[in-house]
Amino acid sequence: MPNSDWFAHDRFGMFVHWGLYSLPAGLWQGQKMKHPYAEWLQASEHVPRPVYRRLTESFNPVAFNAESWISEAKAAGMKYFLITAKHHDGFALWPSRVSAYNVMDATPFKRDILGELAAACKRHEIKLGFYYSHWQDWEGTGGDICSVHMANEEYVHPSEAEFAAYWHGKCLPQVSELLEQYDPWFLWFDTWSKESFRYITEARQDELISLIRAKSSKCLVNSRIQFLAPSARVDFISTMDNTFPSAGFAKPWETSGTLNHSWAYHAADYQWKATRQLLQYLVSNAALGGNYQLNVGPMGDGRFQAAASRRLRDIGSWLQVNGESIYGSSASPLGKPSWGRITARPLPEGQTRLYLHLWEVTPGTALQVNCAAPIVRAQVLESGQPVVAELGRDGICLHLPGELAGLELPVIALDLATDLLKPKS
């Protein structure tokens, strides 16, 4: 089994959805497409295959700059980067020898997008991973298409023989290429419904994971390889889209979430989440021992939208002063208090540091922490301001200083003289 410690430690990564669908950007023939996710255009609007394919002719994102994407991820405090090497439409963002339906052979852009990103990730010490749509592939080579979107004879479920041809002729060889050419740290596969059982059987999960293990000693595999019945061999759990669980999992795990609603760039999607909300998602998952993968949908010309960049910068500046409470932290040993979320880390000599993330602060009031351990000290993480703390009959009582009102989602570091993280025997 590859080592997944880095993944659990890193906590925060960037997801990118980018491809041919980023050009129409959620609009088709002057109308907003039916499916809210822009990357679903082909299926949602039943775009005939030859018509969809013609998007390749205008795919020329000259403003794409791997260095600036990865710098933005780094400045946002993200430690790893994940991109749709091939989404459901079947189009590859690298010069694949397996299928000419790729950026080098089929578009005027003719650049190895994944190669440029891999080089930038190396420069910035960001770990690279790939989304690869293994179950659905709408190119017409035998991959499946989710039946919600089937209403014409062009898009139907493939026969077993057709799917087997796709599996051996495109899916497995392309996954091999990704491993050989870019040496990714993880692969992110995608299923979510029972419908995929017919094609992504236990035997196929095993075949795919065995191929990955044979080619890489480090590449992790996510549970959406078969969401409802993942192989015991998967390395980390992926929840459903934007789903923040109420309890953690035995394996490392993550929630992938959107900045607005669509994953890929959608020109008429204005549902941007506030930075505060995004930070709360990051903190809530960390408090349960999980990761957050925040998605950006770059525009068809290769740039990030200003609304995306601003949120990334704001999250990054919060993490710059509070990152200690997130990276390498442990889940809360004290559950979920009403006032916010807790993460923790062991300190030398059997002490524990609790990070108290305060959702709402009423300065001048007292905050109860349900714990009877002797207090070593308490301070505001960002400013170092001491916080008066007392151990009483009802646990620890902190007197919140008035200055907290000026801080965005403040964190109090509370050091206790007891090892609260010791596994219970």
Identify which range of 33-41, 352-360, 393-401, 406-414 contacts ligand GLC by CB under 6 A: 33-41
* Closest to ligand GLC by CB, 112 or 190: 190
Question: CA–CA separation, 244 vs 237, rounded Å?
Answer: 12
Where does this chain touch ligand GLC (CB under 6 A) — which range of 32-40, 108-116, 153-161, 276-284? 32-40
The contact pattern for ligand GLC, residues 151-190, with x = CB under 6 A and - = no contact, is ---------------------------------------x
How far apart are CB 252 and ligand GLC at their closest, in Å?
17
First to last CA, the chain: 26
> Binders of ligand GLC: how many residues, by CB under 6 A?
9
The DSSP call for residue 189 is: E
What are residue 9's phi and psi, to 5 degrees? -70, -40
CA distances from 219 to 50, 66, 417 (A): 35, 22, 39
Site for ligand GLC, residues 183 to 242, rule: CB under 6 A: 190, 192, 241
Cα separations (Å) of 240 from 1, 222, 258, 315?
24, 12, 12, 23
Residue 349 CB, nearest distance to ligand GLC (Å)?
Answer: 43
Backbone angles phi, psi at 197, to 5 degrees: -55, -35
Question: Do the beta carbons of residue 398 and residue 412 sit within 8 Å?
Answer: yes
Q: Could you say whether residue 130 binds ligand GLC (CB under 6 A)?
A: no
Q: Which stretch binds ligand GLC (CB under 6 A): 37-45, 73-81, 201-209, 387-395?
A: 37-45
Q: Is 37 in the site for ligand GLC (CB under 6 A)?
A: yes
Least distance in Å: CB of 297 to ligand GLC?
Answer: 10
- The DSSP bridge pattern shows strands 395-399 and 388-392 to be antiparallel
* 362: amino acid identity, one letter: T
Pattern of binders to ligand GLC over 262-301, x per CB under 6 A? -x--------------------------------------
**What gap in Å lies between CA 4 and CA 252, rounded to an integer?**
8
CB of 256 to ligand GLC, least distance (A): 5
Chain centroid to Cα 354, Å, comes to: 26
Owner of token pair 């969809």: 52
3-state secondary structure of 389: strand
Among 256, 291, 325, 352, binds ligand GLC (CB under 6 A): 256
Rounded distance, CA 210 to CA 234, Å?
A: 11
Choice between 40 and 101, CB closer to ligand GLC: 40
**Do the bridges between strand 366-369 and strand 395-399 make them parallel or antiparallel, or are there none, so unpaired?**
antiparallel
Among 10, 39, 137, 144, binds ligand GLC (CB under 6 A): 39
Considering only 34-42, 58-66, 201-209, 414-422, which stretch makes contact with ligand GLC by CB under 6 A? 34-42
Which residues ranging from 7 to 26 are in contact with ligand GLC (CB under 6 A)? Answer: 17
Nearer to ligand GLC, 17 or 353 (CB): 17
For residues 363 and 406, what is the distance between their CA atoms, to the nearest angstrom? 10
**Helices and strands in the chain, H and E counts:** 11, 17
Residues contributing to the site for ligand GLC (CB under 6 A): 17, 37, 39-40, 190, 192, 241, 256, 263
